[in-house]
Structure 1
């Protein structure tokens, strides 16, 4: 769902202006000494996740792909390092799709912490919409590369450096299950990431002690959402107004703490799961 999810270049906040996500209350320092990579973390959901994990004491690799996002990424780093948790952070300008960019993220994480990667958050993605009749191979390749190929091969590259107790967390979307028009590729890619979580939970659980889970947001107020066609936003309004938890669009602060939980020791018995972060829009 456009705006429901992540992007490495266009996430933002409720009014379309990029602001700094904040945590609402002190977080437990239960990730002290851990190192996390959060892809697409210069804005919106990704930035909120980076700040959430940093507020719990984790060292954070803040990733951005567009030069226009550099300033935002640097602000996230400054914010993390001002939290008085002892957490360190670094920006990495890298594409999550190609091997060079993936290796740059791995190298930065290994230098930032104590030579391992404890938490890998796949947040970067693309949510552009097209009707079936308008889909080209180029559009398909672009969206599947960032939404599906990147998580697979970045995880593969990181795996030798993830110790027992490690966490892999994928930001999915309710679009995987809703059948929203124009989302042939996006919905398929997000459904596939939920399959990754189930498969990897089996492959990496007993053998490596790694848990793998998805967080599944509904519509979230980010720049990506507000960059959608007004007709699309208008069409979503009845659904948003019917959200069981509250008649409003989701916010970054609704999503990031769930990732914080899944990254912590308290989630040790949760794996292969899709954790709903939609305010109850979907109950399955």
Structure 2
């Protein structure tokens, strides 16, 4: 009979990028509820990040809010230091790469600045944060990416964003091999479709009209996802019960694609 001990994260330490709101906040809180100490990374919303920290602490785990630019080496070092400061083991067992830019622009409107800021956040950030943290990740460590249905659906206006998410999935496959037997680390991704976050609700009426056919065609249910649909899948990949899963992309989009 299963005892569910493999789902516990007690005593482990996690870095969650972009964790002050939306999916990132949901992931950070659930990690804390499972017993992990959590670095709640944020870019600008300090009050939101502190609310997440407070909720994690009320659940009985340690947490700290850290403002850091994930595209900069100084940000990477800041996050690693903060994680080691709250770690019970002197290690960083979990990294969740959630922070991302997802602005839209059709091909004729893409500028070099637009391209650079998306690549810096969505690709440079995960690569060099992982590199900075790697000496501190023990065997059994977990790296999880938040990919997106956009990586494969071919949504207009998402040339750069979709390309970065497809690149994230490529990193998952490569790192699973590089960091598997040599380091004992698993690397996976989940790929949400539309999710009802504050950014979703801030969209204009035309956006909702354009998205409705996609929502209506979602196999699991004709609705947009909630954060609570996504966070448990990410957290599962951070647990010991996911030890035989690596190099994969877990469906988190209601079946829009697999």
User: In structure 1, what is the Cα distance between the partners aligned to 2:144 and 2:56?
Assistant: 20
**TM alignment of 1:40-59, pairs within 5 A:** 40-59=18-37
Q: More relative contact order in 1 or in 2 (CA 8 Å, sep 6+)?
A: 1
CA-to-aligned-CA distance 1:188-242 (integer Å, 9 cap, x gap): 0000000000000000000000000001000001122223343222111111012
User: 2:51 corresponds to which residue?
Assistant: 75
Q: TM-score, normalized by length of structure 1?
A: 0.87
User: In structure 2, what is the Cα distance between the partners aligned to 1:226 and 1:144?
Assistant: 25
**Which segments of structure 1 move beyond 2 Å, counting only runs of 4 or more?**
226-230
Equivalent residue in structure 1 for 2:214, among 235, 239, 242: 239
User: 2:200 corresponds to which residue?
Assistant: 225
User: 1:269 corresponds to which residue?
Assistant: 244
User: 2:148 corresponds to which residue?
Assistant: 173
Question: Which runs of 5 or more residues in structure 2 are unaligned?
Answer: none
Equivalent residue in structure 2 for 1:106, among 69, 80, 92: 80
| SS of aligned partner of 2:181 | helix
User: In structure 2, what is the Cα distance between the partners aligned to 1:222 and 1:74?
Assistant: 18
| SS of aligned partner of 2:125 | helix
| SS of aligned partner of 2:143 | strand
User: In structure 1, what is the Cα distance between the partners aligned to 2:238 and 2:153?
Assistant: 27
CA-to-aligned-CA distance 1:14-35 (integer Å, 9 cap, x gap): xxxxxxxxxxxxx986100000
Q: How many residues align?
A: 253
Q: TM-score, normalized by length of structure 2?
A: 0.96
**TM alignment of 1:174-189, pairs within 5 A:** 174-189=149-164
User: 2:175 corresponds to which residue?
Assistant: 200
User: In structure 2, what is the Cα distance between the partners aligned to 1:28 and 1:189?
Assistant: 32
